[in-house]
Amino acid sequence: MYTTKDGKEIFVLDGHTHFWDGSPENQANVHGKQFIDCFYAYHTNLSPPEELWEKSRFEKYSEDDIYRDLFVDGPDDMAIIQTTVLSDFYKNGFGCIERTHEMAKRHPERFIVNGAFDPRDGEKALEYIHYMKETFDITGVKMYTAEWNGDSKGWALNDPAAYKCFELCDKLGIKNIHVHKGPTIIPLSKDAFSVDDVDYAATDFQNLNWIVEHCGLPRLDDFCWIATQETNVYAGLAVAMPFIHSRPRYFGEVMAELLWWIGEDKILFGSDYAIWTPKWLVEKFWDYQIPEDISAERGGVQLTDEIKEKILGLNAARLYNVDVAQKKAQLAGAPVQIAAE
Amino acid sequence: MLVANLSAELELEVRERLDAVTDPELDEPITDLGFVERVEVTDARKVRVEFRLPTYWCSPNFAFLMGFGIRKEVTALPWVVEVEVLLHDHCFGDEVNEGINSGRDYHEVFAKYCDGARLDEVVETFQAKAYDRRQETVLLGVQALGHGPADIVSMTLGQLRDVTFQGEEELRQKPRYLHLLEARGLACDPEDLAFPTWAGDEIEPGALSDHLARLRSTRINMEFNGALCRGLAKTRYKEVEIGPDGPTLIDFISGRVPLREQAALRG
C-alpha cells in the first residue's frame, strides 16, 4: 500500500518481479555469470546511489529479503513473480517456479507466481504447461524469446510450436502472457528486438492478454502501433521505470507516447525487482508530472492521480481477476510481518 | 619497437579513423561510446584494435557490423600492412572474431548465420533511423530559430548550409546530417530541398508536425539504447562497496573476465 502525502491509500500490484539465484554456485558456465553481471550493470547504472546493493546480495537474496523489500519497506500490496529458467546457463534454473513457489507459499495472499515454458521443447513444453497448471494453478506465463536452447539462440511468438503452446494456455485459462523481447541472436539477418511477432500472436489469440515488458523499447514506435490496433496488448513498464530518476524528461516522453497511443488502461507498473526496488520507483512515480512541453506535443496527456492509480495496480488487478476491495480488506487483516532476523 | 612517438602518432591516426565507425543502433561513433579499448601498432605496421560492447548480450549482427567497419576503416590507412580486430567478452565473440579476421566478405560471413539471408535490410532500416534522428535535431534547431512550417519545408540545401546554430547538439548533428544527405543522394545541389524524407519525398507544410512526431518516436527508441549503452559501458566491471557514507560504485577487477590473458591463451 502506498500512502500519498494527503493520506490516500493506493493499491500497488507490482507486475514484474523475480526471485532468482544467480550466485556463482548456481552458474553453469560463463553465460550464467555474464547474465547476472548484465542485470547487475542495469542495477548499478540506473539506481540512485543510496539504493545500490552489493554484488553478493544481488546475485542471491533470501525469502526474507524479497518480502521486506516489496511489502515491508516497499509499497507493494501484491507482486507477480515471473519465472525465467535459463537452464542452459544455470544448474538449478535462474528463477524457477518450484523455488519461487516455496518462497511464495509463506504469504500466498501477496504473490501471483507465473510460469514459463519453451515452445522449442515441443511435446514436453505442452506436458510442462499441464504440470504447471495442475501443480501451481498458474494464470500467467513469462516468455523470454531470447532464451538459448541448444543450437537455437532465440525464437518468435508466431513460431508454429509456440502457437500449439498458446492454444493450450487458452484452453487451460492461462490468460496472461508476459513477453520479454531480449536480443535474439540468430538469425543475424533479423532485427534482434523486433516486436512484430506480438502482432501475429495477439491477433490469433484474442482471448489471451499480451503484456509486453519494457513496453517494447527499443521498438516503442512499433509496439505502440501494434498495441493501438490490438485491444489485448498491454505495456509493462519494467526497465522504463528507473529512467524516472536518471532521465526524468526522457521518462516523460515515453509515458506521453504510451498515454497518447495506447491509453491509461493498458499500462502496467513493474519494478523488475531485484534489479530495482519498488519503494523509490513508486515514490518518484507518484510525485511525477510529464513536463508541459512534452505533454503539449501529445495532446496534453498527463499522469493524473487517477491514471497513476490505474497504472500502479488497478490495470493489473483487472487482468489477474484480483478484486481490489476484497484484497485490501484481506491484507488489512494480515498486515506485513517483520521476520525476526 | 617503433619509436614511442611515432607509434603514438600512428595509434592516434587509427583512433581518428575509427571515429567513422558508428554503432548502427545508436548512430554514435564507437570511439565516443568508449567501445574501443585498445589500439596497438607493431613494428611491422600491423594494427590490432580491441573493442568491447556494453554487455555480453549486445546484438551480434551489430557487433559484426562494427567489427567489419573497424577493419574497413583501418585498412584504408595507406601505411597499414595488416589488421586484426578483437571483440572481447561477448556471447558471440569467437564467431565474430573469426568472421571479421577471416578476410572473407561480410555477406559471406553473415550468410552462415542466417540461412543465406543478407543483412542489407537491417542495415538499411538503421540507416533510415540514423537519418531521422539527425534530421530531427536539425529541423527542431531551424524551428527554434523562428522559421515556420512553410519556410522549413521549402528550405534549400544552400540555405541550410548558411544557418548558424548555437546549441551543442545542433552543431554536432548538422554536418552529420549534411553528410548523409549527400552520401544518400537526397540533396546534392544548393537548390535541392534540405529536408526530404528518407524515401526522398517532399514534406507538405501541413504534414510537418506529423513528420516531427514520427522522428520523435525514432529518437525515443534510440535514446533508450543510447542511455543504456553508455551507462552499461560505464558500469561494466564495477561493483558496489558499502562504506560508512553509504554505497559507492568502485572498479572491481578480481571477478573480471581476464581480458588480455584470455586473448593470449586463444592466440
Neighbours of B95 (CB within 10 A): 20
State pLDDT tens for residues A258-281: 999 999 999 999 999 999 999 999
Q: Where residue A184 falls among pLDDT bands split at 50, 70, 90?
A: low
Whether pLDDT at A218 is above 50: yes
Whether pLDDT at B258 is above 50: no
Whether pLDDT at B143 is above 60: yes
List chain A residues with CB under 8 Å of B238.
Answer: 41, 44
CA A186 to chain B, closest CA, distance in angstroms equals 7
Q: Where residue A98 falls among pLDDT bands split at 50, 70, 90?
A: very high
Whether pLDDT at B267 is above 70: no
d(CA B73, CA B76): 5
Query: A34 versus B138: which is more confidently predicted?
Result: B138
A215: CATH: 3.20.20.140
State pLDDT tens for residues B48-92: 999 999 888 888 888 989 999 999 999 999 999 999 999 999 988
- Predicted confidence at residue B261, as pLDDT, reads 42
Q: What is the ipTM of this complex?
A: 0.80
Tell me which long-range contacts B158-167 makes (C-beta under 8 A, separation of at least 24).
Answer: B158/B190, B158/B191, B159/B194, B160/B194, B160/B195, B161/B190, B165/B141, B167/B141
Residue of A nearest to B115 (CA): A187
- Predicted confidence at residue A334, as pLDDT, reads 77
3-state secondary structure of B214: helix
Query: B6 versus A299: which is more confidently predicted?
Result: A299
Q: Where residue A338 falls among pLDDT bands split at 50, 70, 90?
A: low
Arithmetic mean of pLDDT, B38-42: 94
Say yes or no: B240 contacts chain A, CB-CB below 8 A: yes
Residue of B nearest to A31 (CA): B91
Residue of B nearest to A29 (CA): B91
Supply the range of the domain harboring residue A299. 2-331
State pLDDT tens for residues B240-249: 888 888 888 7
Put simply, the chain B residues between 32 and 61 with a CB less than 8 A from any chain A CB are 54-61
Arithmetic mean of pLDDT, A48-52: 93
d(CA A251, CA A214): 12
The reply to whether A170 falls in a domain is: yes
Q: Where residue B264 falls among pLDDT bands split at 50, 70, 90?
A: very low
Arithmetic mean of pLDDT, B175-201: 96
Q: Do A95 and A111 form a contact (C-beta atoms < 8 A)?
A: no
The B36-41 sheet, strands edge to edge: B36-41, B46-52, B82-88
**DSSP-assigned letter for residue B58:** S
Among A190-194, B81-85, B263-267, the least confident range: B263-267
Whether pLDDT at A254 is above 50: yes
Question: Which of A45, A86, A190, A222 has the most B C-beta neighbours within 10 Å, making it the best mutation to test the interface with B?
Answer: A45
List chain B residues with CB under 8 Å of A291.
Answer: none
Say yes or no: B143 contacts chain A, CB-CB below 8 A: no
List chain B residues with CB under 8 Å of A246.
Answer: 227, 231
Cβ-nearest to B236 among A41, A219, A243: A41
Cβ-nearest to A192 among B61, B238, B248: B61
The reply to whether A336 falls in a domain is: no
State pLDDT tens for residues A106-131: 999 999 999 999 999 999 999 999 99
Q: Do B83 and B44 form a contact (C-beta atoms < 8 A)?
A: no
Residue of A nearest to B217 (CA): A221
d(CA A152, CA A120): 9
State pLDDT tens for residues B112-133: 777 777 778 788 888 999 999 9
A187/B114 CB distance under 8 A = yes
Question: Mean pLDDT for chain A?
Answer: 93
Residues found in chain B:
267
| Model pTM score | 0.89
Question: Mean pLDDT for chain B?
Answer: 88
d(CA B206, CA A32): 53
d(CA A212, CA A115): 16
B58/A254 CB distance under 8 A = no
CA B194 to chain A, closest CA, distance in angstroms equals 24
Determine the distance from the C-alpha atom of residue B28 to the mean position of all C-alpha atoms in its chain, rounded to a whole number.
4
CATH 3.30.300.130 maps onto chain B at 4-118
- Predicted confidence at residue B252, as pLDDT, reads 62
d(CA A19, CA B246): 25
Name the domain count of chain A: 1
The reply to whether A223 falls in a domain is: yes
List chain A residues with CB under 8 Å of B235.
Answer: 41, 44-45
Cβ-nearest to B225 among A52, A53, A218: A218
Say yes or no: B106 contacts chain A, CB-CB below 8 A: no
B91/A193 CB distance under 8 A = no
The reply to whether A338 falls in a domain is: no
Annotate B130-189 with DSSP letters as a single string.
HHHHHHHHHHHHHHHTT--HHHHHT-BHHHHHH----SHHHHHHHHHHHHHHHHTTS--S
B59/A221 CB distance under 8 A = no
B220/A220 CB distance under 8 A = yes
Say yes or no: B248 contacts chain A, CB-CB below 8 A: yes
B119/A189 CB distance under 8 A = yes
3-state secondary structure of B211: helix
Whether pLDDT at A190 is above 80: no
Of A283-287, B7-11, B124-128, which has the strongest mean pLDDT?
A: A283-287
- Residue A218: cis peptide before it, omega within 30 degrees of 0: yes
Cβ-count burial A129-138 (b if 16+ within 10 Å, e if not): beebbeebeb
Whether pLDDT at B256 is above 60: no
Q: Do A124 and A185 form a contact (C-beta atoms < 8 A)?
A: no
Say yes or no: B11 contacts chain A, CB-CB below 8 A: no
Give chain A's radius of gyration (CA, Å).
19
What CATH number does domain B4-118 carry, 3.30.930.10, 2.10.10.90, 3.30.300.130, 3.90.1150.10? 3.30.300.130
